Amino acid sequence: MRTETFVLDPRYPDCTLTTYIHDPHAELNIATRRAIIICPGGGYQFLSEREAEPVALQYFAAGLNVFILRYSVKENALNDAPLIESALAVKHIRENAEKYYVDPAYIFITGFSAGGHCAAMCGTLWNHSVVREALGIDRGEAPEGINKPTATVLCYPVITANPFAHRGSIDTLCGYPSEETDGAYHFSVELHVDKTTAPAFIWHTFNDGAVPIQNTLLYASALADAGVPFEYHVYPDGVHGLSLANHETWVGLPTHYNPTCQGWIEEAIRYVKEFEA
């Protein structure tokens, strides 16, 4: 395994990318691999390690090259920083596909809770003017679509800034109180879905008490209306923030050990490995 951590862009010094790259071996005869970027959750206030390396190692063991995006949080997340940082991550990996032994046609992004919001924005707002400006696309410094992920894997994601919002995440992004700003529109990802939105794999629990299931219902409905394919798994019971839902990520909390939900990671790996671009 080849791993390193570095600042993705000097404009965002708190944002880092950590790589988990399979070293090429002639015996294996695998020239390139699919890539996935992981965005941990934490309400845009912190980044959960439970949703970072333990998840990365699952994808790595399945044969993917993996990248953990530790995006900006707290006051540094204000406005569009996490969106731009996720776009920069996709762009960086695609531009360095040969270095990372990655197939540039298959760069996925996954996220948990607020990290799921970041990933969903990356797949939906990839062509937004603020992203185009930050990446220099309008100036011809980067080609169209270089920052668009192949598909997204959204794990109990924050989606909307409307009545079912996770208020803390949205308030952090657009200031307090967010109800008095345009954040209710700008950060409601479901309102920006169109036919160019990246396909999605989504999972959620029915009785999530922190990020209501209406978040993913709204996103799935918007994808369906736009004709964008998606896979949607709803588990009947489970608290928010399950991560892998096993003893590695349960941190001693019985509510975070949920055998019913543990299968999501195998389903997500299947989705990523079998997806046809």
Residue 250 belongs to domain spanning? 5-274
Handedness of CA 163, 164, 166, 172 (dihedral sign): negative
With a cut of 80, say whether residue 180 has pLDDT above it.
no
How much is the pTM? 0.97
Residue with tokens 């001693």: 252
Number of other residues whose CB lies within 10 A of the CB of residue 192: 17
pLDDT tens column, 78-113: 889 999 999 999 999 999 999 999 999 999 999 999
The CATH number of the domain where 124 resides is what? 3.40.50.1820
- Tell me how many domains the chain contains: 1
Q: Which amino acid is at 32?
A: T
- Measured torsion, CA atoms of residues 83, 84, 89, 95, in degrees rounded to the nearest 10: 140
Percent of the chain with pLDDT over 70: 97
With a cut of 90, say whether residue 182 has pLDDT above it.
no
